[in-house]
Every structure is written in C-alpha cells, then in structure tokens.
Structure 1
Amino acid sequence: MKPLLSIFSVSLSALFLNSCSNPYDSYYGSSSIYGGNSYLSGFEQTRPGQTPLTHNGQAAPRGYWDDEGVTGSSKIRINLNDQRAYFYKGDTLVGVAPISTGSDGYGTPTGSFKVTQKSIDHTSSLYGVIKNKASGHTVISDADTRKHKAGAGEEFIHAPMPYFLRFNNAIGMHAGFLPGYPASHGCVRLPEEMARIYFDNSKNGTPVIVE
C-alpha cells in the first residue's frame, strides 16, 4: 500500500502545561477549531524509552494513516501501556496514533466498548478554565463545574473536545494536548489531525477495545 498520509515531527512548546493538573491553561493558539487552541495542537514526541513511531521507513511521531485498497469493518484498539491507538479495517492495521489517556486518579477503564456518539465540536460538560472577562487572565486553570463557579466578571470556558467519539459513558476519544504521558481526566486524546481521521472513519457501533 502507498501511504496516504504521513505526519512528521513538529516540535511544539508546552509552556502552557506545567503539569497534568493544568491541561487548559492556554486557550486559542494554533488550531483551526474554536478559533485556534494550543490545548488541541500541543504535542511532545514519544515517551522516554518508547520506540519511535515510523511508517514505511519514515518517522511518523504524530501518527499515520494508510488505508488505500483496504476494506472491512472498522475497529479501534487503545493500548494504555503503549499510549497509542490502533485503527483496523477488517484485520488490517491502517492507522496508528499516539495518545494521552487518564492520569492518576482519572484512569481510562479497560474493556470492550462501542462508539455511541459522534460530536465534531464537542465540549466538556465538566472541565475547563475560569477566566476574567476583562483581562482574559486565567483564574482557575483546571476548573471543574462540580467544584468551581465563575464569579462576578468571570466566565467558565468549557474545554474543547473536537472530533469526539464517545465509547464509555462520559469517556471518549478526541483531539487534545499530548504531553508524552497519561494526562487526561479519563478521555483518550489524539493529535488533532489523527482525531479527525479516526472520527471520519468511525460510526456509531464501531468497536473500541481498551487494554
């Protein structure tokens, strides 16, 4: 098969993310979704000690997609140890994407699931940031609607989760920041370009295996 897409390394700064407890500290950067958002496009290469991702002999740290001439039902396998999501059509592997899954206290549950919802411009109902409306200053960088409320002159901005594929109650796959280790609240983050491809090639009922 000839590769339809190879995505090469882009070195991006993670100034806005000092720890996995601050995933929404910088909004509206370079992404085309929501006017641009560095939360979506931030990316660090492979985890320490992990074999770099390649395709057809070329480096593909942001993932790859190659389904030319391949048919069959779609299936997604998420490997928590590898921190990668593997996309199959039939028995053929057609795509691999680096991911960031749930951090300590927010683990991504293992098991066999199915896609139950597709939402291209989804936002989190629980998490986001609270900002001062006048200055744009971040008041709370990891806000939780169950714990935090916007005060006078403030606004709660819900975290963007574009190309959302729900597969386990509140948990799904979506475009998001990849710091090179598990850092989410339980969802599975992918580089934005791979999230879009996985979204376009999935439908309600697509099996999702987390292991």
Structure 2
Amino acid sequence: MQKSLSLSVTILGAFSFLFAAPHQSYAQAHTKGRQVAPFTPALKAGDYAWHPDLSPSGPVVILVSLPDQLLYVYRNGVRIGRSTVSTGKPGKRTPTGVFTVLQKKVSHTSSIYKGAQMPHMQRLTWTGIAMHAGHLPGYPASAGCVRLPIDFAAKLFSVTGIGTTVIIADNKSAPSHTVRPGMVFSGKAGTPSGSGFVWTPDKATKGPVSIIMSAPDRKIYVYR
C-alpha cells in the first residue's frame, strides 16, 4: 500500500509539472532587457537604449527594421529610443507596412496561443499582430508579433497612444534610409526639387495613409 501511494504521488507530481510547465516556461522566457548607452553602435539581443529627454514632447513614430531586428522610437522627429526585437519566424513573417496602435493593455493573454502572456501589448492588427514583451533569442522567432525586452516594452508603452504610427519595413518594402534610420527621422523618398516637394504615389498605389509633421525638419511626410 505504501509503495502504491508513493507511486501515485509521483505520477500526480509529474502530471502537475506537465500542465504547469508551459505557463512557467513562457514566463521565464521573457527577456528582461539591458539598457545601454544612447549611442552604442551595435546592440546584442535584449539590449536597448532609452533617452526621452532628447525630445520631451511631440508626436511619436515607431519604426521596426526586419532585416536588422531593431525597433526605433522617434518623438517630434528625434530618436529617443532603440531596441533589439524578435519578429516573425519563417512561415510566420511579420507583415510590412504602415500601422497604427489599435489597442493597449498592460496585461494581456493571447486568445490564439492559449496561456501566452503578452505584457504591455500594443495591437497593430485585429488578426493577431502586436508589439509586446517576450523572448529575444537574437533572431526572428515569433509567430508574427514584434517581441520586445520587458523593461523596454514598459517604457515604449508609456509614450504611445491609440493611433500612434508604426512603420514595419524590410529591404523590399522601403528605401535603406527607412530600414536603417539615423538620429533624425525623415523618411523622405528623395531631395525636394525647386518646387519644394517630392510626390511619388506610384510607389504605393493603395493602403492606409499616415501624415507626419516634423518640427525639426519643418516638413510634412506622407506614408501609404
């Protein structure tokens, strides 16, 4: 009887571990993040830079570079943050284009992947694409979302709002200065001629339109 009871307890413990493991392992998998100096040239997985004092106020624009696995944050045209990310793995590629933040939740559990916790979730589509804290292994590994270090996800969450513009780009969907931007975000397609503007609607004939006004550049940018 004693051996039978011991065996039952062992089996029960094993089943408890199996059922608890997915939730525990997912929580442990979240990358906390490591803050580095603002102008650190190369970031390792989990690294981020955050210096909001460079531009204390103004509209926020977020740019995600799929080739470099980096996210850039601009406020009033000036970069205030940069972070490593993990985007969609092969077969679950993160979509490119211009999006807006549709919904924000500090605590969120996925309705698609049961039990998956997504802290500081910022929804970009109603079909399951969002920015949120998660595991950053150093390469694209998500099911399509943009994973962020936990600490950076909280900071990003604090400066965005519903309607914040998010540009997700790769080498095929955008010019190099958009995929790899500098400290000041221009996003311009070329140098304005004597007429004072560049207008190339043929580069994107359909899709949602976003208009960004940059005080430092004294220019207006139109994205589609």
Indicate the TM-score class for this superposition, using the shorter chain for normalisation.
0.5 to 0.7
In structure 2, stretches of 5+ residues that fail to align are 1-20, 170-224
Q: If the length of structure 1 is used for normalisation, what is the TM-score?
A: 0.62
Q: Secondary structure at the match of 2:93?
A: coil
CA contact (8 A) 2:43 2:84 kept: no
Determine the structure 2 residue equivalent to 1:63.
48
Aligned mates of 1:121, 1:113 — CA distance in 2: 21
Give the aligned partner of residue 134 of structure 2: 176
* Whole-angstrom distance in 2 between the partners of 1:183 and 1:60: 18
Q: Return the alpha-carbon distance in structure 2 between the equivalents of residues 85 and 72 of structure 1.
A: 19
Measure how far apart 1:26 and its partner are.
Answer: 5.4
Tell me the secondary structure at the aligned position of residue 105 of structure 1.
coil
Counterparts of 1:207 and 1:180 in 2: how far apart (Å)? Answer: 25
Pick aligned residue for 2:118 from 161, 176, 185: 161
Compute the displacement of 1:117 (Å).
0.1
Q: 1:27 to 1:78 in 2, by over 3 A?
A: same
The match for 1:28 is 24
- Output the aligned Cα RMSD: 2.6
**Greater C-alpha Rg:** 2
Q: Provide the rounded CA distance (Å) in 1 between the counterparts of 2:148 and 2:54.
A: 25
- The 1:207–1:58 alpha-carbon spacing in structure 2 relative to 1, beyond 3 Å, is closer
Higher relative contact order (CA 8 A, sep 6+): 1
In 2, the alpha carbon distance for the partners of 1:105 and 1:56 equals 34
Q: What number of residue pairs does the alignment pair up?
A: 145
- Tell me the residue number matched to 1:124: 110
Higher strand share: 1
* SS of the residue 1:208 aligns to: strand
Contact 2:38 / 2:50 at 8 angstroms: preserved in 1?
no
Task: Check conservation: 1:42, 1:178, Cα contact below 8 A.
Answer: no
Question: Where does residue 65 of structure 2 map in the other structure?
Answer: 79
Identity value in percent = 38
Give the CA deviation at 1:87.
0.4
Runs (4+) off by over 2 Å? 25-29, 53-61
Structure 1: gaps of 5 or more residues? 1-24, 30-35, 46-52, 129-157
Tell me the CA shift for residue 200 of structure 1: 1.0
State the partner residue of 1:200: 158
